Amino acid sequence: MSFTLATWNINSVRLREPIVCKLLAEEGPDVLCLQECKSPVDKIPLEAFAALGYTHMVAEGQKGYNGVAILSKLPLEPAGAQDFAQLGHARHVAARLPNGVTVHNFYVPAGGDVADREVNEKFGQKMDYLSQMRDFFHADAPQKSILVGDLNIAPREDDVWDHKKLLKVVSHTPIEVEALAQTQDAGKWVDITRQDIPEGLLYSWWSYRAKDWDGADKGRRLDHVWATPDISTAAHSSRVLRDARGWEKPSDHAPVFATFDL
């Protein structure tokens, strides 16, 4: 059975309902994981999504901030939600699919502008969040699982437009990259996107500050798809839908897709 999953930081699911519907209608992934929904669960426009075949949803909501949702054509069984770093934020939700795969949808804190927890509380929260993710997967090794979301870190040199210039910029600092690597190692997660696209510059986010985002192309790969080793070999194609960054009233993120034969 071929199964396609997409992850997208939508930056307000209600404001960008039209482009979510566009993606569902034109691309038709079996599962779409959204981050930064900025909506209580009962305000997510599920009727519009259900009309396109996405009749199942598991979500954690929050008014005006954060929020994660898993939309699916397939039945979903809720599989928990963790409040890492005890922030009281809706940043994680998990669901189990009929094929037994558990999908974890994450929105890791961005971390503010200064990579120093002594002067920037938000950076400390980000580091604490990652360390608790690491400990969670150490304590309970995931199996037959996929982890997706806006992890707010571009780990590789070719995941950013200029490695040297961004070494001190939050999202690409060595301390963040190491923390993400420890989290990945804890669950033995495989980076599916880079398994399928091993070489070359690859981005999923372009700042709103750049009017000519496409021409300037100063991007970062902040959005990820990981899988446990027992299903990582079933992955066979990945892509970033870059065009979505140019849709009307876009998110600053583009959707990332992965297809598995399970």
Question: Residue 235: is its pLDDT beyond 90?
Answer: no
Q: Which residues are annotated as a binding site for Mg(2+)?
A: 9, 36, 150, 152, 252-253
How far is the CA of 163 from the CAs of 8, 148, 167, in angstroms? 24, 24, 6
Is residue 157 classed as helix, strand or coil in its secondary structure? helix
CA distance 51 to 6: 19
pLDDT for 211 beyond 90 = no
- pLDDT-based confidence at 214, cuts 50/70/90? very high
Any idea what DSSP says for residue 199? S
10 Å Cβ neighbour count for 256? Answer: 27
Q: What is the pLDDT of residue 45?
A: 97
> What is the pLDDT, as a whole number, of residue 255?
98
Convert the pLDDT of each residue in 123-140 to its tens digit: 999 999 999 999 999 999
pLDDT recorded at residue 132: 98
> For residue 178, what pLDDT is reported?
98
pLDDT, tens digit, 9 for 90 and up, residues 81-113: 999 999 999 999 999 999 999 999 999 999 999
- Please indicate whether residue 54 is annotated as part of the active site: no
| Confidence at residue 109, expressed as pLDDT on a 0 to 100 scale | 98
Give the pLDDT mean for 222-229. Answer: 98
pTM of the model: 0.98
Q: Which of 92, 172, 224, 253 is catalytic?
A: 253
Q: Does the annotation mark 253 as catalytic?
A: yes
Strand partners, 172: none
Q: Is residue 1 over pLDDT 90?
A: no
Residue 41's DSSP bridge partners are none
* Whether 172 is catalytic: no
CA angle 54, 239, 170 (to 5 degrees): 100
User: Which residue in the list 30, 150, 159, 191 is annotated as catalytic?
Assistant: 150
pLDDT for 16:
98
Give the residue ranges of the annotated binding site. 9, 36, 150, 152, 252-253
pLDDT (0 to 100) of residue 36 = 98
DSSP E strand stretches across 36-183: 56-60, 68-72, 77-78, 92-96, 102-107, 145-150
Q: Quick check: helix, strand or coil at residue 176? A: helix
CATH topology of domain 2-261: Deoxyribonuclease I; Chain A (3.60.10)
